[in-house]
């Protein structure tokens, strides 16, 4: 439906491709910390309970009650003394269990490890088991869980698979270290690190830092096998850092550090195909851009109903990208300032909230403050539109069977631009377009649309108009 809808609307509206804010972000609260307890990342309780889990590095795990979003309250802390002295770098939730990726990967003097924390009662969370690799180097960058297995991004060691069926007895299954002689035939080993991943259907989509994207078949967990690899050729002979990945269907969204965001088609793992590249800082123009870039994308969070991707971006804090048309990602908003002296590391979203963690760092960006900011956003989904002002637009005929006219000429709008968003009956956004207001009207060819109900959301300046439209093909 989406492809057909885009094709139809494009006859009237050129694709909206320039940078525009399509949502409003507002700070709700600030959970402060110190540089001896760095907030690496966080996750809202996935079972709908009002708790926030924060990986606070040197301070271990911290759990906040966020029933009052403007006054989060610390209700439980699990220090590193309960985690065999290992620092908490990342976390993920599966049901009533949190999985902590352990081991400081900045200093390289801690082994990668995993802890299982029971959060059936979040305010009384307790550690069930801790596992650590025998080699005390590298630490762990990420953990993801699928079924009875946990997959640990163990930096230079590669991918560690652990059996977590018994929450009180984590068992080592296998270690797979991808070949580092890609994409460069003369690799620099310290730059090849398993630090971000997505897992689905027996495949691990691994961000291998300077080593690009690797797809690893773990259907036999005892014998992982790499079946696909990819690296953007525009970065050959330049620094590159594939940091984190998020999978939706056959599309892999990848944070590309100072090179922004890549969207890849992974329907054929043996032939990963680039779909688009959002490269806001023109990273390939200078070999020193990694040090001077205003942004370093790292973690990702996705609002599927709105088609929005949130990226933590270091010095530039937070970037929001509209990926409702994956072939042409569009900058949609931001939070923070290049001059605020702080930089982000992690991002998570839940409902209409975005959680952004800040770190203390020196390179590649300076940041003197850490903690978690909680943001609310008024997104472009139909459920977030609220009251719509009747500004005198006409949308006709309704129901429509062939052509739908949108006319604003009689309302007197002649300057600026008109932005039209189209939503399905369930509130999911499927496209966003714009046209000069001076055109006065446009025609939408709906003959290729499936019969059903749609919503048009039209912005002209500060005015907003919504119209429910029925398409009834004869």
Angle at 392 between CA 388 and CA 398, to 5 degrees: 85
**What letter does residue 242 receive in the DSSP assignment?**
B
Q: Is the separation of the CB atoms in 358 and 343 below 8 Å?
A: yes
Q: What does the block give as tokens for 183?
A: 């994409």
Q: How far apart are CA 292 and CA 284, in angstroms?
A: 12
CATH assignment of 385-471, given 3.40.190.10, 3.30.1490.20, 3.10.20.30, 2.60.40.3080?
A: 2.60.40.3080
Residue carrying the six token digits 């439209």: 469
Superfamily assignment of 23-379 in CATH? YVTN repeat-like/Quinoprotein amine dehydrogenase (2.130.10.10)
Within the chain, which residues score under 50 in pLDDT?
1-11, 13-20, 383-388
The contacts of residue 317 (CB under 8 Å, 6+ apart) are 334, 335, 336, 337, 340, 342, 343, 344, 356
Residue intervals in the chain for CATH 2.60.40.3080: 385-471
User: Quick one: which of 294, 289, 324, 295 has its CA closest to 309?
Assistant: 324
- Residues 157, 112: contact at Cβ < 8 Å? yes
Residue 284, sorted as left (phi over 0), alpha (psi -120 to 50) or beta, turns out to be alpha
Q: What pLDDT is stored for residue 7 in this prediction? A: 35
Query: C-alpha distances in angstroms, 294 versus 114, 236, 315?
Result: 33, 21, 6
CA–CA separation, 296 and 318 (whole Å): 10
The C-alpha torsion from 31 through 78 and 143 to 428, rounded to 10°, is -40
**Own/partner pairs, 19-22, CB within 8 angstroms, 24+ separation:** 19/330, 19/331, 20/330, 20/331, 20/332, 20/419, 20/434, 21/332, 21/333, 21/334, 22/320, 22/322, 22/332, 22/333, 22/380, 22/432
So what's the pLDDT on residue 120?
98
pLDDT of residue 395: 86
Residues contacting 434, CB < 8 A, separation 6+: 13, 14, 16, 20, 417, 418, 419, 420
Supply the pLDDT for residue 157.
96
Q: For the whole model, what pTM was predicted?
A: 0.81
Please give the pLDDT value at position 21.
60
Beta bridge partners of 473: none
Burial class of residue 161, CB neighbours in 10 A (0-12, 13-18, 19+): buried
Which residues have CB under 8 Å from 418's CB, separation 6+?
408, 434, 435, 436, 437, 439, 458, 459, 460
Q: Within a 13 Å sphere around the CA of 374, how many CA atoms are in the beta-carbon half?
A: 25
CATH 2.130.10.10 range(s) for the chain read 23-379
């Amino acid at each position: 439906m989406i492809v057909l809808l885009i094709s139809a609307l494009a006859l009237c509206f050129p694709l909206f491709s320039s940078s525009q804010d399509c949502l409003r972000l507002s700070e709700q609260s600030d959970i402060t910390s110190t540089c001896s307890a760095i907030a690496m990342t966080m996750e809202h309780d996935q079972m709908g309970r009002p708790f926030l889990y924060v990986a606070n590095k040197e301070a271990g795990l911290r759990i906040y009650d966020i029933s009052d979003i403007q006054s989060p309250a610390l209700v439980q802390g699990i220090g590193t003394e309960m985690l065999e002295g290992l620092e908490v770098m990342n976390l993920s939730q599966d049901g009533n269990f949190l999985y902590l990726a352990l081991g400081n990967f900045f200093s390289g003097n801690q082994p990668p490890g995993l802890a299982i924390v029971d959060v059936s009662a979040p305010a009384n969370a307790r550690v069930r088991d801790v596992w650590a690799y025998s080699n005390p180097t590298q630490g762990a960058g990420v953990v993801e869980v699928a079924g009875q297995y946990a997959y640990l991004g163990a930096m230079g060691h590669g991918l560690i698979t652990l059996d977590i069926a018994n929450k009180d007895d984590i068992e080592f299954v296998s270690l797979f270290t991808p070949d580092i002689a890609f994409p460069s035939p003369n690799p620099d080993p310290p730059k090849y690190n398993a630090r971000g991943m997505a897992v689905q259907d027996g495949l691990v989509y691994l961000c291998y830092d300077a080593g690009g994207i690797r797809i690893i078949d773990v259907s036999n967990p005892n014998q992982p096998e790499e079946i696909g690899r990819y690296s953007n050729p525009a970065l050959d002979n330049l620094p590159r850092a594939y940091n984190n990945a998020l999978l939706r269907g056959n599309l892999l969204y990848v944070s590309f550090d100072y090179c922004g965001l890549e969207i890849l088609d992974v329907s054929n793992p043996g032939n990963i195909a680039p779909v688009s590249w959002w490269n806001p800082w023109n990273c390939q123009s200078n070999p020193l851009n990694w040090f001077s870039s205003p942004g370093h994308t790292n973690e990702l969070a996705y609002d599927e109903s709105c088609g929005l991707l949130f990226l933590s971006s270091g010095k530039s804090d937070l970037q929001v990208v509209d990926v409702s048309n994956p072939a042409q990602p569009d900058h949609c908003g931001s939070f923070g300032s290049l001059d605020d002296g702080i930089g982000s590391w992690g991002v998570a979203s839940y409902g209409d909230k975005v959680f952004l963690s800040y770190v203390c760092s020196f390179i590649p960006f300076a940041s003197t403050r850490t903690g978690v900011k909680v943001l609310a956003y008024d997104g472009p989904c139909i459920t977030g539109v609220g009251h719509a002002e009747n500004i005198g637009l006409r949308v006709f005929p309704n129901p429509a069977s062939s052509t739908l006219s949108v006319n604003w000429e009689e309302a007197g709008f002649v300057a600026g631009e008109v932005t039209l968003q189209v939503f399905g009956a369930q509130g999911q956004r499927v496209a966003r377009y714009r046209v000069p207001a001076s055109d006065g009207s446009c025609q939408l060819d709906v003959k290729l649309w499936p019969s059903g109900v749609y919503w048009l959301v039209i912005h002209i300046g500060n005015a907003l108009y919504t119209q429910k439209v029925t398409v009834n093909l004869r």
